[in-house]
Amino acid sequence: MDLGLQDRIAVVTGASRGIGLAITQALVDEGVHVVAGARERSKELDALVGAGAVEAVLVDLSTPRGPADLVAVALGHGRLDIVINNVGAAKTRLTGFVDVTDEQWLASLNLNFMAAVRTVRAALPAMIAAGRGTIVTTSSVNSFLPDPAVIDYSASKAALANFCKSLSKEVGPHGIRVNAVSPGPVTTALWLGDDGVAATVARSSGGNADAIVEQQAKQAPTGRFTHPNEVADLVVFLASDRAANITGADFVIDGGLITTL
């Protein structure tokens, strides 16, 4: 399927690994020029830069200025067609709500929520002037499946989902579409890394990280985690004109884990 994205300009946040890297690769495969924002480089992102279709911008997206600086690089091309809000992180907290400090709450809200708000704020005037644009945000099933082990992450993702829905109503008349994608567990460092959910729970309980992953995977009818490229395919479709009348939606991709929607 030709998605008609050739030569468009996109910003992707959190682009150096995981879902963000997969989205960047998928956009490049469709002929999009990507301005990729990340705090650190990765060899995979560097390879895409070397191929000429990606500009990597090293930026701290949790800061007030970081998102605007990233968007400014994209606008240097004369327009901005696509914004992918992907940056985010979760810290597993197993000692209870009372132990979550103000600093931890603010850090989570800054990265998981305010980074998207600031990126959109910087990008929107150019999109409105052009009369078109697409914004796709990586949310999470935790936005409506609250989990005390990631209480601050869940709250920030709930705010993000609400923001996307509200924004879609405001900017739809300007030709701009806003959608979200909410993955369940994905085969990235958030779950599988040395400091990911599985390893953290295993260290706390004396269990085995692989067994924890297997147990979690079995909760989905498909019996497995989602892969980053599967999330990326959905995101890129929503960014394309093939999804021209889809806005204000939140698409769950979780192998059937959530059964109440």
Residues identified as active-site: 153
Phi, psi of 133 (to 5 degrees): 160, 160
Q: Helix, strand or coil for residue 31?
A: coil
Q: Helix, strand or coil for residue 148?
A: helix
Could you give the CA distance from residue 82 to residue 11 in angstroms, rounded to a whole number?
Answer: 6
Tokens of residue 23, six digits = 């989205």
Phi, psi of 19 (to 5 degrees): -60, -40
Cα 142 to Cα 39, 157, 199: the distances in Å are 24, 7, 19
Residue type, 244: A
Could you give the CA distance from residue 14 to residue 62 in angstroms, rounded to a whole number?
Answer: 11
Most distant pair of Cα atoms in the chain: their distance: 56
Residues 6+ apart with CB under 8 A from 192: 198, 213
Tokens of residue 239, six digits = 């960014």
